[in-house]
Amino acid sequence: MKKKEVRSATLVESLIPIGFMAVFLSFCIFKYGASPHIPLIAATIIASLIAVFRLGYTWEVIEQGMFETIMSAMQAILITILIGVLIGVWIVSGVVPCMIYWGLKIISPKIFLIATLLACAIISISTGSSWSTVGTIGVALLGIAQSLDIPVQIAAGAIISGAYFGDKLSPLSETTNLAPAVSGTDLFSHIKYMLYSTVPSLIICIVIYGIIGMKYSGNNLDMEKILLVQETLKSTFNTLSPVLLIAPVFVISLVIFKIPAIPGLVGGILIGAVFAVTLQGVGLEGILSAAQNGYVSQTGVQAVDELLSKGGLSSMMSTISLILCALSLGGVLEKTGMLKSIAEILLKRAKGVFGTVLCTMITSLFTNIIAGEQYLAIVIPGKMYKEEFERKGISPVMLSRALEDSGTLTSVLIPWTSCGAYAAGVLGVSTFAYAPFTFLNIINPFVSLTMIALGIKIIRTDQKREAV
């Protein structure tokens, strides 16, 4: 039997699975409130059928594409599992309750959102990890927000904005290293160039969160509720001594000193387990239950029970399965060249510096939506547009910044990406709920494009590096 020749996908063929996914996904989510899992699987099946019967690919090649994409995100999946375990153990050990208890004593509702934004930004810059920031201090800050009657979706937006500000600029961040590597520039030129748009974006966010925070000033504060939460926490755990803060400080310190995230999280889990035994008197059975199924609070005080009933490996299974579904679709589309065919059409319409950068950012956003992984949203457009930037004499720092402005920042705004699924799973706030309040992630791309439109800091390849 003659082997069928493999050919490139046409634009129409490439858009069929994507269009189906968009329609089916919207229908399932907005009509029935269903999860994105099944629509993503259905779109993967359609893309695979087109690849086999129209483009000539074998199932083995398609399967390889899925496996390769899943393997590229395996570290993120393992981190997701460990974060679930970490949260459960840190609650039963009193670490998270301790952060909530002392946070309620020192943080004013009026400045809470600004304090949250800046605290998460500092920790994320220090660690290079938005995930660790959201999964540790972010969980505690969300608990404080609930006690202060600040809507969780707004608090989650401030947490994520701060976490991604740091992730975007930290030399320890994987995406911050990946973008310049793909683009052909060096790390510190990349970071320096991003400062021009990211810092003004942060200032705008501080103003916005400050205005929103005015609504939750001390005049509207229910002190009785806060005192009830504090007293309930204090009576539920043997001690809420600041000694418990050693656990998050330990994890953050390990990341700062470039210890890989997985060993660092395991260390944090072990310290939490030790505190659970020595300070809270919890036995092995209680620790294992919290690690597997999460902590179940039964204080009888609804506010506290909602704060503490979370975590555990099992709580992350839906998130992990969502990541796998999205990565499978992304793998098929990338392996069969469907993503590339769409990007080539966009590139033909890109005019000048503004058009080329805008095209790059749209492609990164588009890749996040259909591939479900921020690393792919950086690598694929980076490889595709590097030659175009060189041909037009545009500095690679402009390409690397465009990849971060869109690929990194928009990943957490899409429910089925690994970042969006992780943040929603850890914080317990749906992506659609917090997305409108992640002001840094929304504002930064527009600030960057506005600067280019105004001719501010446009760098050409024939300019000296010092111009950056």
The per-residue pLDDT for range 339-367, each reduced to its tens digit, is 778 777 777 777 788 988 998 998 889 88
pLDDT of residue 188: 76
Report the distance separating Cα 116 and Cα 92, nearest Å.
24
Contacts of residue 452, Cβ cutoff 8 Å, sequence gap at least 6: 353, 354, 357, 398, 458
Predicted confidence (pLDDT) per residue in 265-295, tens digit: 899 899 999 999 999 999 999 999 999 998 9
Residue 98: C-alpha distances to residues 86, 312, 406 (Å): 15, 19, 36
pLDDT single digits (tens) 321-336: 877 887 788 788 888 8
For the chain, the domains span 75-468
pLDDT at 466: 36
CA-CA distances (angstroms) from residue 218 to 215, 223, 227, 381?
9, 9, 14, 48
Q: What sign does the dihedral 106-148-419-453 (CA atoms) show?
A: negative
Backbone angles phi, psi at 295, to 5 degrees: -85, 135
Please state the φ and ψ torsions of residue 5, each to the nearest 5 degrees.
-75, 135
Inform me whether the pLDDT recorded for 116 exceeds 80: yes
Tokens of 18: 């994507």
In the block, which residue shows the tokens 């695979």?
A: 48
Higher local confidence (pLDDT), 47 or 330 = 47
Position 218 confidence tier, pLDDT thresholds 50, 70, 90: low
**Max CA pair span of the chain:** 80
Q: Which two tokens stand for residue 64?
A: 């390889």
For residue 366, give every residue at least 6 positions away whose Cβ sits within 8 Å of its Cβ, in sequence order, or none.
342
The DSSP code for 29 is I
Segment (H or E) for 301: none
Instruction: Return the H-helix or E-strand segment holding 170.
Output: none
Distances (CA, A) of 298 to 143, 147, 149, 225, 236: 16, 17, 21, 17, 9
